[in-house]
Amino acid sequence: MSKSKDVTIPDNIRGYSQVRLDVDLTSGEIKESTLSKEFCRDWIGGYGFAAKVLWDELKPGVDPLSPDNVFIYAQGPFPTTILPTSSKYGVFAKSPLTGMFGMAISSGSVGAQARRAGINMIVFKGKAPEPVYLVVDDDDRYLVPCKDTVWGKGCWETEEILREEFQDQRLAVMAIGQAGERMSRLACITNDRNRQAGRTGMGAVMGSKNLKAVAFRGTKGVKVAQPVEFYKLAKKLIKVANGPATAKYRDQGTPAGLLSYNKLGMFPVNNYREGTWDKIVDIVNGEVLNDEWVVKKVGCSQCSIACDHLARVPKTHPDYPNLVASVDVELVYGYGTACGNSDWPTIFKCITQCDDWGIDAISGGVTCAMACELFEEGIITKEDLGYELPFGSTKNLVRFNEEMILGKGFPGEIFGDGTKMAGIRLEEKGRKNAGYYAMQIKGLEMPAFDIHGMTSFAVGESVSIRGACHLRNGAYGLDAKGTFDRFSYEKPVERGQQIKEVEDVYALIDSYVICKFTRGIYENDAEMAKVYELVTGIPHTEESILARGDAIVTLSKCFNIREGWKRDDDHPPERFFKQAHTRGPAKGFTLEEKGYQTLLSGYYKARGWDENTGIPTDETLKKLGLDFVIGKLKKSGGK
């Protein structure tokens, strides 16, 4: 494996602005420094930048909602180039939801405007004495007190007010809503109204720092290292991006895959009691959504795929006339199938509550699904809520969702910080076994895959650095495509190797900070490496750049170990081992502990981590250029 330091860096690198801003919110001081060429080469951008900074600069063991947490905005070298889907950014911190590596990626216009303002990374520390927002307006960077203006307002109104204030509809605003201000561990960051950096509670970290929003605009250009060659390759990629490789996302948005996953018994229904549903075939699918509800398709800056599908409720609807929602497959799952709900306007209403008041709609939906099941099991009651909440609820689901997000009443008190905390709080009140219904891994609510019959993804989703996640590890493809028998535990190391490889590529994509939908537009990983070289001038090869993906995953794993991670944290909820579906292809099947542990060890081994403890070996750390970690894990007690 070639080492990053063997990759020669030219005198001038391109793409990156190399500008790091350090914002000390406690003192209000803002400093600018230059990211070194070596830092850019070794950590690529976005996720990689943050993995290194959080390792170096976050004191182990801090309370994620204290001023000691470090909150990072980071992007890669591509925004404002013509590379498809490259106007993206990431936010990172120790997660208040999981207590481990927190990260969320969003699209829209923020990445492009931040790059035009010359930004590569912003590191926020401390806590502002009163609510503020940060303005990055080309070379003007300043904090604005906002207690009497936008504090207390939703994400949508905040964006509108700031755009109005600047008399500029292109102003890119990432903002938190009421949920972030009250530090709900589910809180997200919203930008461009419909785009969210949703997962792991990054909005709560902003709220804990009294940071309401960040607004960007700029006029700077970007230089690329080999413009003629880059233009040629980017034009080809744009053509492919407009062709069959992404047609399903253009036509039906992300709900395109609903019917096929339902057929495989992989689409969660009623909080994972089942993996298929006849109402998915008849009502809750991408075809019906697009034929009957979608009125507009919207693309982010630098993207012609336009996967954001806006649905509108007719003006004659008695409850939500003219309501417009941005619909994604995960939200159709969260507020639809997971809650046993096939009423589209209810799904749309719940989505808008999440997006505007500012919580992650996946976590929100899964938390509502837990509440529905707890209600059906008699663990929570009408006396607790003031109303009934069985699966299939509509108006009461909307009511529960509002109370949960805004921290009101029993739903806010018990469920306002997600499923894991709800289970703990209910069990503390003597409601036995409540935690069993929390569908989460490491504290993060599960995405739209039912893993009863997905032995590869059971591991891939569980080892994900940020908790249950299909966007850090795409091993669901191994099950869906039949690469390995999805009901068996065969070939643990070979399978572990493939789970690792897809995770490494995803880490690279999150460091480039581009959309995973576009992975298919590249002929191969060598072409992904090429595009990096043509833009930056840094001659990473396929081998050397994929090794950086490996290093980034391993470093963020080391971060988790330092924060107290144990092997048991890489484990799916008990339901998958105890309770089988009663219908569909996975009927009667449950995961087996011994088989699961064999696959997990196979994955650790493939990564060069100790196959028993899951801790990276010194040899692996050296091979990946992570020598600076050696000796630090044991000292901090990781096992």
176 touches ligand SF4 by CB under 6 A: no
Closest CA to 341 of 368, 309, 322: 368
When the beta carbons of 301 and 346 are compared against ligand SF4, the nearer one is 301
At residue 495's C-alpha, the angle toward residues 492 and 496, to 5°, is: 80
Question: Using the rule CB under 6 A, is 306 a contact of ligand SF4?
Answer: yes
Written as six digits, the tokens of 569 are 């944290």
The footprint of ligand SF4 on residues 459-488 (CB under 6 A) is none
307 or 438: CB nearest ligand SF4: 307
Taking CB under 6 A as the criterion, which residues in 507-536 touch ligand SF4?
Answer: 515, 517
Indicate whether 303 belongs to the interface with ligand SF4 (CB under 6 A): yes
Stretch that binds ligand SF4, among 117-125, 295-303, 429-437, 569-577 (CB under 6 A): 295-303
Nearer to ligand SF4, 233 or 241 (CB): 241
For ligand SF4, the binding residues in 61-90 under the rule CB under 6 A are 85
Q: Is 99 left (phi over 0), alpha (psi -120 to 50) or beta?
A: left
Selected from 70, 266, 307, 505, the binder of ligand SF4 by CB under 6 A is 307
Distance of alpha carbon 126 from the chain centroid = 24
Based on the shown chain and the rule CB under 6 A, indicate whether residue 276 belongs to the binding site for ligand SF4: no
Minimum gap (Å) between residue 253 Cβ and ligand SF4: 8
Candidate segments 43-51, 209-217, 300-308, 500-508, binder of ligand SF4 by CB under 6 A: 300-308
**CA atoms of 327 and 309, how far apart (whole Å):** 6
Closest to ligand SF4 by CB, 134 vs 237, is 237
Binding residue for ligand SF4, selected from 300, 311, 513, 633, defined by CB under 6 A: 300
Six-digit token pair at 610?
A: 């100790």
Find the shortest distance in angstroms from Cβ 323 to ligand SF4.
Answer: 22
- Is residue 245 a contact residue for ligand SF4 (CB under 6 A)? no
How large is the angle between the packed helices 455-463 and 492-512, nearest 10 degrees?
Answer: 50
Size of the site for ligand SF4 (CB under 6 A): 11
Burial class from Cβ neighbours inside 10 Å (0-12, 13-18, 19+) for residue 243 reads exposed
* Among the residue ranges 73-81, 110-118, 306-314, 340-348, the one whose residues contact ligand SF4 (CB under 6 A): 306-314
Determine if 237 is a binding residue for ligand SF4 (CB under 6 A).
Answer: no
What is the pattern of x (binds ligand SF4, CB under 6 A) and - over residues 106-135? -x----------------------------
Q: Is 308 in the site for ligand SF4 (CB under 6 A)?
A: yes
Distance of closest approach, residue 188 Cβ to ligand SF4, in angstroms: 15
Backbone CA torsion sign across 163, 166, 167, 171: negative
| Cα–Cα distance for residue pair 522/499, rounded to 1 Å | 20
Determine the residue type at 178: Q
268 to each of 452, 545, 616, 633, how far by Cα in Å? 10, 35, 33, 37
Q: Which is nearer to ligand SF4, 300 or 441 (CB)?
A: 300
Sole window of 223-231, 303-311, 438-446, 478-486 interacting with ligand SF4 (rule: CB under 6 A) = 303-311
Minimal distance in Å, beta carbon 373 to ligand SF4? 31
User: Up-side HSE of residue 212: CA atoms within 13 Å toward CB?
Assistant: 28
Residue 307 or residue 389: which is nearer to ligand SF4 going by CB?
307
- 203 with 187: CB under 8 angstroms? yes
Instruction: Say if residue 8 is exposed, middle or buried (CB neighbours under 10 Å; 0-12, 13-18, 19+).
Output: exposed
DSSP string, 16-78: ---EEEEEETTTTEEEEEE--HHHHHHH-SHHHHHHHHHHHHSPTT--TTSTTS-EEEE--S-
DSSP 194: T
Check binding of 374 to ligand SF4 (CB under 6 A). no
Hey, how many other C-beta atoms are within 10 angstroms of the C-beta on 161? 17
Q: Is 252 in the site for ligand SF4 (CB under 6 A)?
A: no
Which of 301, 440 has the CB closer to ligand SF4? 301
Q: Which of 202, 305, 338, 397 binds ligand SF4 (CB under 6 A)?
A: 305
Q: Is residue 270 close enough to count as binding ligand SF4 by CB under 6 A? A: no
Find the part of the chain contacting ligand SF4 (CB under 6 A) among 3-11, 91-99, 299-307, 427-435.
299-307
Q: Which residue, 353, 344, 341, is CA-closest to 309?
A: 344
Can residue 299 be called a binding residue for ligand SF4 (CB under 6 A)?
yes
Q: Does 326 bind ligand SF4 (CB under 6 A)?
A: no
Q: Collect all residues with Cβ–Cβ distance below 8 Å to 545 and sequence separation of at least 6.
A: 44, 508, 525, 528, 529, 532
Q: Which is nearer to ligand SF4, 305 or 385 (CB)?
A: 305
445 Rama class: left (phi>0) / alpha (psi -120 to 50) / beta:
beta
Question: Dihedral of the CA atoms 461, 357, 429, 270 (nearest 10)?
Answer: -50
Minimum gap (Å) between residue 327 Cβ and ligand SF4:
12
- Give me the residues that bind ligand SF4 (CB under 6 A), please: 85, 107, 299-300, 303, 305-308, 515, 517
